[in-house]
Chain A
Amino acid sequence: MTSSNWQFDTEKSLVESHGLKLEEFEKIVEGLGREPNLTELGIFSAMWNEHCSYKSSKYWLKKLPTSGERVIQGPGENAGVIDIDDGDVAVFKMESHNHPSFLEPYQGAATGVGGILRDVFTMGARPVANMNALRFGDPNHPKTKHLVSGVVGGIGGYGNCIGIPTVGGEVNFHPSYNGNILVNAMTVGIAKKDKIFYSAAAGIGNPVVYVGSKTGRDGIHGATMASAEFDDDSEEKKPTVQVGDPFTEKLLLEACLELMKEDAIIAIQDMGAAGLTSSSIEMASKGNVGIDINLSKVPMRAANMTAYELMLSESQERMLMVIQPKKEELARSIFKKWDLEFEIIGEVTDTKKLILHMDGEEQASIPINILVEDAPEYQRDYIVNDPSPLINFESKDFEDKDILSDLLKMMSHPNLCSRKWIWEQYDHMVMADTVVRPGSDAAVVRVHGTNKGIAISTDCSPTYCRHNPYEGGKHAVVETWRNIVASGAEPIAITDCMNFGNPEKPEIMGQFVECIRGMGDACSKLNYPVISGNVSLYNETNGEGIYPTPAIGGVGLIRDLSNTMTISLKNEGNVLCLIGENNNHLGNSHYLSIIQNREDGGTPSINLDDELKNGKFILDCVAKKLLKSVHDVGEGGVLVAIAEMCISGMQGIKIDITKDFLHGFFFGEDQARYLVEISKNKLEQIEVDASKSGVKIERIGEIGGTSISINSIGEIELSSLIDHHTKWFNEF
Chain B
Amino acid sequence: MENFYGFFLDNLLIIYLLAFTVLLGFEIIAKVPTVLHTPLMSGSNAISGVVVIGAILLVRLTEPTDYLTLSLGFTGIVLGMINVAGGFVVTDRMLEMFKKKKK
Do A and B associate with each other?
Answer: no
